[in-house]
Amino acid sequence: MRGRKLARVKNGSFDAILPPEAHLPLDPETTRGILEETDRNQRPFRTKWRCEILGTSVKLPTVKLERTATMHTVSLDEEIARCWFEAGWAYTYGLFQSATLLTCAIIELAIERYLRSKDLWIDYENEVEEKHRTLGSAISFCRPRKNRGAYLTERILEKGTRLNEIRIEAAHMNKRRNLVLKLPPEFDSLDEIDEIEIVMQPAVDGSGKKEVYFSVNETGILFDPANQDFYKVRAFKRYAKEAISLTSEITKLIFELT
C-alpha cells in the first residue's frame, strides 16, 4: 500500500480504484503514504491559496495599558496572534469554513481588548451574560445609544456587521444547505459562498487526454458530461477570503483607536 497512487480520472472514467475504506487505514505506513500523495497533489492549490492572502496582516498596538489590565491584555494579544496564525493555515490547507469562523473569533477578541483598554469591559459584562456574548452582541454593544455615542467608528461597525453575517452563515449554513451548484459557463449565477474551480489538466503522458487526481474520499466533485471536465467545489472559499480581508482591515482600524 505504501506509495499507492490516488484515483485518477481520464476522460470521465476511473483508471485506478479508490480504497474501499471510508476512512484512513489504521496502518501508519499506509496512512503516511496516502497523506504524502494527497499533499503532493494538493500542493499547487495550497500555494495559490496562500498567495491569495499574503497581503493581509494583524498588527497589535504598542500602547501600554494600566498594570491592572496588563495580565489579561497580554493573554488577549497571544490569543489574537494564535487565532490569526491558525486562520491563515486553515485557509492555506483548504479548510475555508474553519478559517471563516476563526477570523470572527479574532475580531471578538480585538473588540474585547479595545473595551478593556477603555475601561468599558465591565459595562459589557454587566449588560450581556457570558453565555450570550458573541461577535454580534459585542458589535451591538458598541453601537450608539440614546444616552451615549458609539464606542467604535461607523466604518468598523459596518465591516464588523458584514463579518458577523458571514459568521452566522458559516456556523449555521442556512443558505448553503439549500444551494443548487451550477457548472460553467453559468459562473454569473454562482452563489457568493463557494468557489467552483476546474481541476482537469493535460495527461502527463502527452496523449492529449485530460485527467484529474482525486484525494481519498474527495468530496464536492462536479462532472460536466458535455465536455468531460471535472470541477471541485471549494465550500466557503469566497467567504473565507472576504473574512480574512475584513479581519485584517478591522483590527487595524480598532487598534488605531487603542
Reported as a single tens digit per residue, the pLDDT across 145-188 is 999 999 999 999 999 999 999 999 999 999 998 888 877 656 55
Residue 148 and residue 78 share a domain = yes
pTM of the model: 0.79
Instruction: Name the domain count of the chain.
Output: 2
Beta carbons of 70 and 39 less than 8 angstroms apart: no
Q: Give all strands of the β-sheet with 221-224 in edge-to-edge order.
A: 195-198, 229-234, 221-224
Task: Copy the grid coordinates of residue 79.
Answer: 490569543
Residue 203 and residue 164 share a domain = no
Residue 89 and residue 156 share a domain = yes
**Residue 79 belongs to some domain of the structure:** yes
pLDDT values of the chain reduced to their tens digit, one per residue, 258 residues: 333 334 444 444 433 333 333 355 678 888 788 878 888 888 889 999 999 999 999 888 877 666 666 677 778 999 999 999 999 999 999 999 999 999 999 999 999 999 999 999 999 999 999 999 999 999 999 999 999 999 999 999 999 999 999 999 999 999 998 888 877 656 555 568 998 888 887 877 778 788 777 665 677 888 888 888 888 889 999 999 999 999 999 999 999 987
Beta carbons of 92 and 49 less than 8 angstroms apart: yes
Instruction: Indicate the DSSP class of residue 241.
Output: H
| pLDDT for res 139 | 98
Looking up residue 87, the CATH number of its domain turns out to be 1.20.120.330
Task: Please give the distance of CA 161 from its chain centroid, rounded to a whole number.
Answer: 17
Task: Please give the distance of CA 157 from its chain centroid, rounded to a whole number.
Answer: 21
**Residue 115 belongs to some domain of the structure:** yes
Residue 163 and residue 248 share a domain = yes
| pLDDT for res 21 | 36
Beta carbons of 36 and 42 less than 8 angstroms apart: no
Residue 115 and residue 145 share a domain = yes
**Residue 136 belongs to some domain of the structure:** yes
Residue 65 and residue 43 share a domain = no
Residue 253 and residue 137 share a domain = yes
**Residue 182 belongs to some domain of the structure:** no
Residue 167 and residue 131 share a domain = yes
**Residue 187 belongs to some domain of the structure:** no
Nearest to 87 by CA among 67, 117, 110: 110
Residue 132 and residue 94 share a domain = yes
**Residue 181 belongs to some domain of the structure:** no
Residue 226 and residue 147 share a domain = no
- Helix (H) / strand (E) element for 197: namely strand 195-198
| pLDDT for res 151 | 97
Determine the structural domain holding residue 147 and report its residue range: 57-175+238-257
| pLDDT for res 160 | 98
| pLDDT for res 30 | 83
**Residue 186 belongs to some domain of the structure:** no
Task: Copy the grid coordinates of residue 150.
Answer: 458609539
| pLDDT for res 15 | 37
Beta carbons of 34 and 28 less than 8 angstroms apart: no
Residue 150 and residue 89 share a domain = yes
**Residue 220 belongs to some domain of the structure:** yes
- Helix (H) / strand (E) element for 224: namely strand 221-224
Residue 251 and residue 131 share a domain = yes
